Chains A and B, each alone.
Chain A
């Protein structure tokens, strides 16, 4: 890893180490949200939520654009993909389901024997 990569990893890990910021990421990955709509969901000041959004933006995990007086935030999927391959993650969902079917079937076999 180069120094830049290390700095970027630090920024990503720091950004994702906070519960509120992970929650914001889940929301903005599903669709664009205004910062004020995001702020309405948390028991903290608008300014505090803005600071969380700024940390995520600095780490490159979300992008902001202006629409009139609103600031709209959306998750940068490419950036998230750099944390781990997105397709591999989706495949993990399937693998998880299949592993759970295996476990369910193994439970029957244990009951029979």
Chain B
């Protein structure tokens, strides 16, 4: 299991995921540096991601959309704050309208991705911090949009038996 630790801190409004990968730091960096690789990992299989702009440099902008099984598009953007190639980067992650203009009705999270070498490969630490409890809750609610589709698919399978 590559995920080694998960923590939700409701006081600092932070979600932290730690994972171990059997590859050097440079290789893990490449997943984020190459939009074609990134879109293979960002959206769940039922909501594939397409990256449109991809400027992974300080002040740069990354835009993407995920496509639902019904063909509906959910757009998002990253504003890159800092980059320490290949050990990590920080960015703001927000929801966007279809033209990729930020949707101010949705919360923005501050993210820090860090990649550190270990004996066998790389330890990745992903942290996402929200400005308010309402914002975190709203994103968790949005998570259900993605997550419920897999839960609901399981229900479908159960009913098909």
Contact = CB atoms under 8 A, between A and B. Distances in A.
A93 B44 contact: yes
Contacts, number: 103
B143 A98 contact: no
Contact of B22 (A83, A98, A105): A105
A25 B140 CA distance: 15
A30 B150 contact: no
Contacts of A92: 147, 150
Interface of B is mostly: helix
A26 B148 CA distance: 8
B51 to A, nearest CB: 14
B14 to A, nearest CB: 13
B22 to A, nearest CB: 7
Contacts of B40: 100, 104
Given A16-B152, A98-B19, A100-B40, A86 B68 contact: no
Contacts of B27: 105, 108
A104 B19 contact: no
Interface string A78-113: 001101101101111111111111101100110000
B126 A94 contact: yes
Given A25-B148, A87-B8, A93-B147, A104 B41 contact: yes
Interface of A is mostly: helix
Contacts of B116: none
B52 interface: no
A27 to B, nearest CB: 9
Interface in A63-78: 75, 77
B159 A17 contact: yes
A11 interface: no
A29 B21 contact: no
7 contacts: A17-B155, A80-B148, A83-B155, A89-B151, A94-B126, A98-B3, A101-B21
Interface of A: 13, 16-17, 22-23, 25-26, 29-30, 75, 77, 80-81, 83-84, 86-87, 89-102, 104-105, 108-109
